[in-house]
Every structure is written in C-alpha cells, then in structure tokens.
C-alpha cells in the first residue's frame, strides 16, 4: 500500500496547481501597459490685494507674467470704486494736467511716489498704459473679465480706439521709471498723452481724442 503524502508534499502540490494558471494569465496579458503621461495644468494667478484705503499709498504687488485680455474699449465713461479725488469728466482732467508744473525728466514712463502706480508709453507711442500694483479694481458689471483668467483690472490704456480696461497678469512697465512727484505733470514728447500725479491717484489725457483715465487703489474712471 503506497505511503500517504505528507503535509509538506500536499502544500507543494497546491502551490503548483495555483501557479500554473496564474502564469498563463500573465503570459496572455503581455507586458504591462505604458504609464499615461502626466497632464500639465496651467493656473492663472492673480494677486489678491490687501484691504487699503483708496488712493496712491502702498508698494506694488508682484505681477505674474501672463498675456493681457481687454474687457472693454471705446470712449468712456466708465467708473469703478469710490472715485475719491477722481475728475468728473475729460475737461476737468485736462485742467488738472495743464495746471500742474511739468517735470521735464519724464518723457516716456513714470511711477508715483509710492511706487504703486506707473504709466508708460507703449505700442511705439500709439498708446499710454497705466497700471496699479495693490488695490486692483473689479471690472464694471457691463464688461466682466473673461473666464479662466485674472479677475481684476490691473491696467487702463488710452489707445487709438479710446480708453480700454485690461484684466491682466502681465505688465507694460519695465525697469525702474523716474518718480513723478505729487502735483507735477508729465508730457510725453511726440504723443498726445499727458499725466498728472496726485495723492488721490494718477490722471492722464489723450489731447487728440479728448479721452482720459484716472487710476488709484480700488478705483478707476475713463472718459
């Protein structure tokens, strides 16, 4: 009578029975599928300004580089925010600019004494762009920022088509432009643009089109 298999022999037999179909299954499946490439997600970052009174005070926030998107264009008027110190119309803005002494050292760009506001001639002299660092205003309800991008207006431009609001994450201002003292004006040679720096904010006009802008913390206006 043959001897009964030991417990160890039984265990080996069970392992063999299980391993055979498992190896066959792996062979039928072939090599593992390649790992799916990871996807890159781009997030648009918009600086969140700290609460602050209206006006020009404060240092600028870092501005990430991103293509700008216009929200509205054409002649004003557009107004956003408390508007403290803002001219009521183009005529008042032009009087403020012409009534201030000219700083001859400012020819193409300047910044406010606080450094929070800056303006520069762009587009080969065809437009003037003014930007705010901290206290970027919300756009007017009639011209919201495009979905998926910055949600506040960081730049206002005077162009051949009129004043334009820009929901931006980039900047037109480069380097460190000279400071335009409060109560002084800047006339951009060879262009129709002129500006005045005041504690309330910056006012600029296009004398050819009779357009203008006012920009400050949490406030903007165009005419």
In a domain, 82, yes or no: yes
Task: For residue range 15-59, list pLDDT tens digits in order.
Answer: 444 444 444 444 444 444 444 333 322 223 333 334 445 477 654
In a domain, 81, yes or no: yes
Rounded-to-integer distance, Cα 159 and Cα 123, Å: 9
In a domain, 21, yes or no: no
In a domain, 25, yes or no: no
Count of structural domains, the chain = 1
Q: Is the pTM of this model over 0.85?
A: no
- Least confidently predicted of 33-42, 96-105, 135-144: 33-42
Q: Is the pLDDT of residue 210 over 70?
A: yes
CA distances from 17 to 7, 10, 20 (A): 16, 11, 6
In a domain, 79, yes or no: yes
In a domain, 22, yes or no: no
Confidence category of residue 11, pLDDT binned at 50, 70, 90: very low
In a domain, 1, yes or no: no
- Pairing type for strands 101-102 and 184-187 reads parallel
In a domain, 186, yes or no: yes
**pLDDT confidence of residue 92:** 98
Query: What is the span of the domain harbouring residue 160?
Result: 69-222
If DSSP codes are grouped into helix, strand and coil, which group holds residue 93?
A: helix
Rounded-to-integer distance, Cα 186 and Cα 195, Å: 5
């Amino acid at each position: 009578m043959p001897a009964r298999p030991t417990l160890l022999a039984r265990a080996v037999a069970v392992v063999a029975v299980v391993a055979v179909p498992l190896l066959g299954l792996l062979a039928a499946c072939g090599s593992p599928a390649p790992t799916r490439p990871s996807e890159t997600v781009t997030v648009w970052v918009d600086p969140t300004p700290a609460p602050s009174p209206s006006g020009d005070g404060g240092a600028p926030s870092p501005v990430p580089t991103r293509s700008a998107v216009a929200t509205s264009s054409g002649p004003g008027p557009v107004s956003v925010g408390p508007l403290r110190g803002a001219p009521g119309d183009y005529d008042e803005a032009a009087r403020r600019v012409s009534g201030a002494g000219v700083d001859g050292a400012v020819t193409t760009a300047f910044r406010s004494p606080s450094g929070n506001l800056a303006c520069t001639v762009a587009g080969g002299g065809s437009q003037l762009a003014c930007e705010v660092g901290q206290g970027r205003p919300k756009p007017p309800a009639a011209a919201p920022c495009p979905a998926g991008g910055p949600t506040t207006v960081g730049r206002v431009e005077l162009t051949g088509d009129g004043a334009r609001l820009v929901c931006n994450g980039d900047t037109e201002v480069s380097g460190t432009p000279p400071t335009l003292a409060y109560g002084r004006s800047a006339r951009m040679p060879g262009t129709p643009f002129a500006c005045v720096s005041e504690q309330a904010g910056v006012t600029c006009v296009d004398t050819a089109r009779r357009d203008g802008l006012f920009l400050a913390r949490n406030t903007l206006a165009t005419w």
